[in-house]
């Protein structure tokens, strides 16, 4: 056995043991060390680089590592075999996905504004923001030697008499608190209850003088990022927001690699633990700490995630999601409670899952569609969610159609050598001087924050600017020379945004031809999907009244640039609105409003699904879209005019 | 900190650490070392003796330890304070209550006969042995690209169509297995379901060719002993039986001491862990191992226990049980599932709790009453459960009255210096030669088993024989001399049943005057309770048509002797029947039969409860009964005739 020590710039070492010849990335996974491995160890993405500090590794050279880098000790962990005791440095850029908790300061109302906006849009569409949780006051006679009714019957009788409900139940958690609460308050209680027409369930009991906390949790489980809102269920107010990376990321950046991973022995439990114990429970913890809420006072959970994320959360086999005929275990599901999932909130909290409508159009889209309110408009709207994949919904109050395209994770910084999410250090906007080729950029974070990588909106800007400045060709190849333009030993070009001296990174921040190619394919997938879906309905882009762009691409997205690279159709720019994390906004609405919950089910039932891969024109459209902006320039008349 | 090493004769050392002056018994409790302490550390019972092997203890002498014993190193752990590193031997007689698992060999049909008898008695009374669990066969069309209904909807549709039930649910555990099961069997399943009139719940799914296991668990949670039956829910057959000591015993032998313990910080969780993790889960484990059943294939649990045991199982505050006006949190409870209690069976298994009817007449009695079938008879029956307390039910199909008396744990060997449960090594029957005073006894266990202690039925025989032979007075004092009769330095007499050379014990097995006194008070409590309850109804003992004796006192109970010491009324001996563990028999019936479950609720609702402590005559009756056989000899005419 050899000793393997993982070193980090900002945290403590992790030690593991491995046999001769074991794969370094696998050892890291077992030791819960998050090495970024979007391709799940296929030596395809080149992101799992680590730096050898001492000892030796049996590790080939690859195009992902320059001769100089190799000299410095950089190795791809997925093709490195252990041959001695070894110490490796896991760089911060590689561990960008490590669960970094971020709790929003809600005084910066921008964080909350977007959710309030969605809420008011939904309310305007006629959805009442009211749920079935409430607090009631119940007074009972104290027992005596002549009146020996036990506590639970006493409470149930009193509630039946007071509320006129036939069936009253007490949850097990409330039962445990009942005796103390009654005797602390002379048999006068406050109760948190869930009241439906015929039934009333007592979820919590407390002495009459206590101030009840009735919390709810809305969660967007993205493939890359998980975000959560803690909500006051009585007022609907957002109390705190937190987000972190999805702990499953070390098992692959995309859903396919995770589905493969969950099929291995013990895989489903491993993936479930990664999302529940390593991601959701820490998020709940931090939300509760920030807000002074007790875990057990969170009485409801609403989850919006794609079909695969939902299956992995439940530890239900996700393999059928990717295998023809693409039949998952469930689209909708009921009767799940927090203790089924070991989520650390009230064990009897009902889990609402935003319904999936297909293997590749999940609850994030149905919830997001709710938030966009396009289901209530006469005008024709296009809703685009740029998550780790791209999903589209087109329609109005009369009909809706959805489709999904495998755009890949490029919009969230995946498959991009210096890509990262739109968190601190991300270049989110950029302009380039046509003469000097000097870039000017905006970095997410506090003033003076050095760049650490590039997020989706930044990549759009950079590609748009490189193209505008004639630095790259319509195919994305470098056609000018300069100090910022490099070619490696394989001839691959790249553009340096920031040299490492000026960056929060161990290496220069650059965008390579491979990155540009990946991104062009991603934007091509989106654009061609829009075209094919509209064609299938006999529509064309001019008939689109409004476009709602959602997702983790970053609020800095520049619509002009997005059109200029051919990602979005060339229609009036004021028709585009960025609506942020619509999946979370939808989950928030479903959590707070029983009508919203019902509406999403309704939306899901009435939305048709277009399987793009069965559309004969899709592949041609896709190939034609893998150009800047497009092989058919007539599709972008406004660009031609410039 | 000092190191405390607990040594055992038959198992490995346990090491703990303690501060100067810490109490040895408390240290043992924290270290999960079971030292027998029926009085919970009040230096009252003298049972927590340990032998000092090395080091020193600050420990007083007491009447419970002779000078010779003290010399040998024996100390009462409850009054011993740690003053150095120390090694102590915890003797086997003291750890008699340590959880000893016993799985019945069901080929010895005697073990099962008593439950089958109860079942046939209940069935004869018109209760159908049928429950709502069944296995159904469901065939579905396989999905295709044109038929993309997800697995859960597909199954629910098929079941609705086939069974004509409106509402069909799939449990979370079954949902997790659904995808695999469908694809292993071309969409043809066997399902374990719970079917009620309007609802059907799918509890398990498997490929059509699989052989379903549908298990249920009936458990009697006694204060001292816990017994369980694993049952085939489809046939009602008993598959295996197991029993062990109640892991809570180290927190006190009786309910009062445990209620006090559960009130301490963390106490409720500690008591719950002791019963669930240390007692029930190991029992489930051993039942499953014996029978080849999978834990998750146990789909229902029925628990019968006294009111305090039920509260401690649920970690619900039990203090109101012992405090006027004696109002527990619940008598009946619904909607509890195995995962609420962390019992290691199917997480969605419904937990049926035999209803309590008062703080001191619990589910063990309502279940036991069901098993006795007295509720279906015209004749007047008396049902006596000799558990750690004594409870009585008197009545017939027209009315029933119950009461409880604090007989103490003597019937199960508690409060008796060499007392033990009716397990291997227990003297269960005894005769004494009037001339030689030589005892002859029967020991529980294999041929050649040496005696290790005395169980309830043995104590009855010994006291009866000592009295018959004129060795003890009607007050229980020794009035003859002999080699087996001893007097200690305090003048307390005792009778040696077996010298340590002939015993499986580190000391002689004897019955002391204190033991006899304890037992006389226990039997006096029972007899006076019978008298007072009958008087309150204007009945007398001659009107009793039949007596059903239940409990852990041992199947060897000699009714003649029990009458001769004045424990039971002097009526025809053939009117007495020992019916064994009626609580477990009742739980077994409730588990297998929905009608039996309803009948117990009915019995509980219709049984009146007599609070003996409020009866003015009870104390006088009790005092008069603390004699052999009684101060009023006319109550025992058949004895006078001898």
Q: Which residues of A touch B169 (CB under 8 A)?
A: 334-335
Minimal CA–CA distance to A119: which of A239, A238, A240, A241? A238
With CA atoms as reference, the chain A residue closest to B346 would be A340
| B183/A329 Cβ within 8 A | no
Q: What is the DSSP string of A11-60?
A: S--EEEEE-TT-BHHHHHHHTT-----TTSSSSSS---EEEEEES-EEE-
pLDDT tens profile A86-133? 999 987 643 444 445 566 666 556 668 889 999 999 999 999 999 999
| A330/B153 Cβ within 8 A | yes
Q: Quick check: A40 pLDDT over 70?
A: no
φ/ψ (deg, to 5) at A234: -85, -30
Residue with tokens 């038929």: B147
Q: For residue A93, what pLDDT is reported?
A: 44
Asked if residue B449 lies in contact with residue B601, where contact means CB atoms within 8 angstroms, the answer is no
Q: For residue B96, what pLDDT is reported?
A: 47
| A178/B150 Cβ within 8 A | no
CA–CA distance, A409 with A423 (Å, rounded to integer)? 16
Among A12-16, A604-608, B193-197, where is mean pLDDT lowest? A12-16
Minimal CA–CA distance to A217: which of A281, A152, A313? A281
For residue B629, is the peptide bond before it cis, meaning its omega torsion is within 30 degrees of 0? yes
| B152/A314 Cβ within 8 A | no
Q: For residue B67, what pLDDT is reported?
A: 84
| B153/A332 Cβ within 8 A | yes
Q: Which two tokens stand for residue A244?
A: 């972190």
pLDDT tens profile A306-350? 999 999 999 999 999 999 898 999 999 999 999 999 999 999 999
Q: Which two tokens stand for residue A618?
A: 């899709």
Task: Give the model's confidence band at A441: pLDDT under 50 very low, under 70 low, under 90 confident, else very high.
Answer: very high
Q: For residue A310, what pLDDT is reported?
A: 97
Using DSSP, state whether B116 is helix, strand or coil. Answer: helix
Using DSSP, state whether A635 is helix, strand or coil. Answer: helix
Minimal CA–CA distance to B567: which of B544, B549, B587, B593? B549
Minimal CA–CA distance to A176: which of B268, B480, B380, B540? B268
| A340/B316 Cβ within 8 A | no
Q: Which range scores top for mean pLDDT: A277-281, A298-302, A484-488, B222-226? A: A298-302
Among A440-454, B104-118, B259-273, B485-499, where is mean pLDDT lowest? B104-118
CA–CA distance, A224 with B486 (Å, rounded to integer)? 81
The model's pTM is: 0.84
The answer to whether A351 contacts chain B (CB < 8 Å) is: no
Mutation target among B144, B150, B317 for the A interface, most CBs of A within 10 A:
B150
Q: For residue B98, what pLDDT is reported?
A: 42
Shortest CB distance from A333 goes to which of B152, B328, B336? Answer: B152
Strands B576-580 and B546-551: parallel
Q: For residue B351, what pLDDT is reported?
A: 98
Shortest CB distance from B329 goes to which of A175, A317, A340? Answer: A175
Minimal CA–CA distance to B303: which of B343, B268, B269? B343
Q: Which residues of A touch B179 (CB under 8 A)?
A: 316-317, 319-320, 328-329
Name B204's bridge partners: B192
Residue B337 DSSP label: B
Q: Which two tokens stand for residue B241?
A: 């039986």
Q: Which two tokens stand for residue A81?
A: 């075999």
The answer to whether B149 contacts chain A (CB < 8 Å) is: yes
Using DSSP, state whether A349 is helix, strand or coil. Answer: coil
Average pLDDT over residues B350-359: 95
Task: Give the model's confidence band at B95: pLDDT under 50 very low, under 70 low, under 90 confident, else very high.
Answer: very low
Residue A114 DSSP label: H
| B153/A331 Cβ within 8 A | yes
| A335/B171 Cβ within 8 A | yes
Asked if residue A460 lies in contact with residue A566, where contact means CB atoms within 8 angstroms, the answer is no
Shortest CB distance from A325 goes to which of B148, B316, B339? Answer: B148
CA distance B640 to chain A (A): 42
CA distance A328 to chain B (A): 5
Q: For residue B8, what pLDDT is reported?
A: 82
With CA atoms as reference, the chain B residue closest to A314 would be B176
Task: Give the model's confidence band at B254: pLDDT under 50 very low, under 70 low, under 90 confident, else very high.
Answer: confident
CA distance A384 to chain B (A): 24
- Neighbour count for residue A208 (Cβ, 10 Å): 16
Asked if residue A455 lies in contact with residue A428, where contact means CB atoms within 8 angstroms, the answer is yes
Q: Quick check: B11 pLDDT over 80?
A: no
CA–CA distance, B329 with B317 (Å, rounded to integer)? 8
Among A62-71, A210-219, A374-383, A470-479, where is mean pLDDT lowest? A62-71
CA–CA distance, B164 with B67 (Å, rounded to integer)? 79
The answer to whether A327 contacts chain B (CB < 8 Å) is: yes
| B317/A179 Cβ within 8 A | yes
Q: With b meaning 16 or more CB within 10 Å and e meaning fewer, what string describes B593-605?
A: bbbbbebbeebbe
Handedness of CA B564, B567, B568, B573 (dihedral sign): negative
Residue with tokens 């064990």: A347
| B319/A172 Cβ within 8 A | no
Helix H, strand E, coil C: the string for B465-503 is HHHHCCCECCCCCECCCCCCEEECCCCCEEEEEECHHHC
Average pLDDT over residues A17-22: 89
Average pLDDT over residues A60-70: 84
Q: With b meaning 16 or more CB within 10 Å and e meaning fewer, what string describes B555-567?
A: ebbbbebbbbbbb
Which of residues B225 and A234 earns the better pLDDT score? Answer: A234
| B319/A179 Cβ within 8 A | yes
| A317/B179 Cβ within 8 A | yes
Q: For residue A341, what pLDDT is reported?
A: 97
Helix A618-625 and helix A513-536, axial crossing angle in degrees, nearest 10? 140
Task: Give the model's confidence band at A506: pLDDT under 50 very low, under 70 low, under 90 confident, else very high.
Answer: confident
Using DSSP, state whether A447 is helix, strand or coil. Answer: coil
Q: For residue A394, what pLDDT is reported?
A: 98
CA distance A596 to chain B (A): 22
CA distances from A601 to A338, A356, A382 (A): 21, 9, 20
CA–CA distance, A69 with A76 (Å, rounded to integer)? 11
CA distance B327 to chain A (A): 5
Mutation target among B156, B175, B194 for the A interface, most CBs of A within 10 A:
B175
Task: Give the model's confidence band at B105: pLDDT under 50 very low, under 70 low, under 90 confident, else very high.
Answer: low
CA distance A404 to chain B (A): 16
Mutation target among A144, A172, A335, A363 for the B interface, most CBs of B within 10 A:
A172
Q: For residue A109, what pLDDT is reported?
A: 62
pLDDT tens profile A558-592? 999 999 999 999 999 999 999 999 999 999 999 99
pLDDT tens profile B45-94? 777 889 999 999 999 888 788 888 888 999 999 899 999 999 999 876 43
φ/ψ (deg, to 5) at B54: -150, 160
Q: Which two tokens stand for residue A398?
A: 């009369």
Q: For residue A87, what pLDDT is reported?
A: 94
Task: Give the model's confidence band at A12: pLDDT under 50 very low, under 70 low, under 90 confident, else very high.
Answer: confident
Q: Quick check: B310 pLDDT over 60?
A: yes
CA distance B315 to chain A (A): 7
Q: Which residues of B touch A319 (CB under 8 A)?
A: 179
Asked if residue A449 lies in contact with residue A424, where contact means CB atoms within 8 angstroms, the answer is yes
Shortest CB distance from A330 goes to which of B175, B315, B325? Answer: B175
pLDDT tens profile B267-298? 999 999 999 999 999 999 999 988 899 999 99
With CA atoms as reference, the chain A residue closest to B263 would be A180
Q: Which residues of B touch A170 (CB under 8 A)?
A: 335
Q: What is the DSSP string of B411-473?
A: GGTTTSTTB--SSTTEEEEEEE-TTT--EEEEESSSTTPPP-EE-HHHHHHHHHHHHHTTSB-
pLDDT tens profile A237-290? 999 999 888 989 888 878 888 999 999 999 999 999 999 999 999 999 999 988
The answer to whether B184 contacts chain A (CB < 8 Å) is: no
Q: Which value does ipTM take for this structure? A: 0.83
CA distances from B568 to B34, B127, B550, B558, B608 (A): 34, 31, 13, 11, 22
Asked if residue A424 lies in contact with residue A53, where contact means CB atoms within 8 angstroms, the answer is no
Name B252's bridge partners: none
Minimal CA–CA distance to B165: which of B202, B131, B215? B202
φ/ψ (deg, to 5) at A41: 90, 25
Using DSSP, state whether A511 is helix, strand or coil. Answer: strand
Q: Quick check: B638 pLDDT over 80?
A: yes
Using DSSP, state whether A242 is helix, strand or coil. Answer: strand
């Amino acid at each position: 056995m050899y000793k393997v020590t993982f070193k980090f710039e900002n945290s403590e070492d992790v030690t593991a043991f491995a046999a001769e010849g074991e794969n370094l990335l696998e050892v890291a996974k077992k030791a819960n060390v998050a090495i970024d491995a979007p391709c799940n160890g296929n030596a395809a993405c080149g992101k799992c680089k680590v730096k050898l500090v001492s000892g030796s590794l049996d590790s080939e050279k690859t195009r992902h590592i320059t001769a100089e880098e190799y000299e410095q000790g950089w190795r791809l962990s997925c093709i490195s075999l252990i041959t001695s005791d070894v110490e490796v440095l896991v760089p911060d850029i590689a561990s960008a996905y490590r669960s970094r908790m971020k709790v929003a300061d809600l005084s910066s109302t921008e964080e909350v504004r977007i959710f309030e906006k969605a809420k008011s849009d939904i309310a305007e569409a006629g959805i009442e923001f009211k749920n079935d949780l409430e607090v009631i006051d119940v007074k009972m006679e104290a027992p005596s030697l002549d009146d020996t009714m036990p506590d639970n019957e006493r409470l149930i009788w009193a509630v039946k008499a007071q509320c006129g409900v036939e069936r009253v139940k007490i949850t097990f958690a409330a039962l445990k608190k009942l005796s103390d609460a009654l005797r602390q308050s002379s048999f006068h209680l406050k109760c948190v209850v869930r009241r439906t027409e015929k039934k009333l369930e007592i979820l919590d009991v407390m002495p009459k003088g206590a101030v009840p906390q009735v919390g709810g949790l809305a969660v967007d489980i993205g493939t890359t990022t998980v975000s959560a809102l803690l909500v006051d269920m009585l007022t609907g107010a957002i109390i705190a927001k937190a987000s972190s990376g999805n702990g499953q990321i070390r098992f692959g950046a995309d859903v396919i690699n995770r589905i493969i991973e969950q099929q291995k022995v013990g895989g489903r439990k491993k993936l479930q633990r990664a999302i529940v114990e390593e991601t959701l429970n820490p998020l709940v913890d931090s939300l509760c700490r920030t807000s002074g809420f007790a875990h057990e006072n969170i009485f409801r959970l609403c989850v919006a995630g794609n079909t695969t994320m939902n299956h992995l959360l439940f530890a239900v086999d996700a393999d059928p999601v990717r295998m023809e005929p693409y039949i998952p275990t469930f689209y909708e599901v009921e009767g799940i409670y927090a203790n089924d999932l070991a989520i650390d909130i009230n064990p009897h909290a009902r889990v609402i899952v935003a319904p999936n409508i297909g293997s590749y159009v999940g609850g994030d889209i149905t919830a997001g569609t709710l938030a966009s309110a396009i289901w209530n408009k006469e005008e024709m709207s296009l809703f685009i969610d740029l998550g780790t994949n791209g999903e589209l919904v087109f329609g109005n109050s009369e009909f809706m159609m959805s489709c999904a395209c495998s755009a890949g994770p490029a919009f969230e910084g995946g498959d991009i050598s210096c890509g990262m999410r739109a968190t601190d250090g991300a270049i989110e906007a950029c302009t380039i001087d046509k003469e000097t080729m000097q870039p000017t950029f905006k970095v997410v974070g506090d003033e003076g924050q050095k760049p650490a990588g590039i997020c989706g909106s930044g990549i759009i800007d950079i590609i748009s600017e490189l193209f505008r400045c004639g630095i790259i060709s319509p195919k994305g190849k470098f056609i000018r020379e300069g100090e910022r333009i490099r070619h490696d030993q394989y001839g691959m070009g790249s553009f340096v945004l920031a040299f490492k001296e000026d960056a929060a990174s161990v290496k220069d921040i650059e965008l390579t031809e491979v990155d540009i190619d990946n991104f062009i394919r991603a934007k091509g997938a989106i654009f061609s999907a829009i075209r094919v879906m509209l064609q299938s309905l006999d529509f064309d882009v001019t008939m689109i009244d409004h476009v709602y762009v959602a997702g983790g691409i970053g609020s800095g997205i520049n619509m002009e640039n997005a059109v200029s690279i051919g990602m979005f159709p060339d229609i009036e720019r004021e028709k585009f609105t960025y609506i942020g994390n619509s999946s979370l906004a939808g989950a928030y609405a479903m959590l707070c409003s029983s009508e919203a919950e019902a509406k999403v089910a309704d939306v899901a039932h009435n939305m048709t699904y277009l399987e793009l891969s069965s559309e004969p024109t899709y592949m041609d459209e896709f190939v034609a879209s893998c150009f800047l902006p497009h092989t058919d320039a007539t599709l972008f008349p406004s660009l031609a005019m410039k």
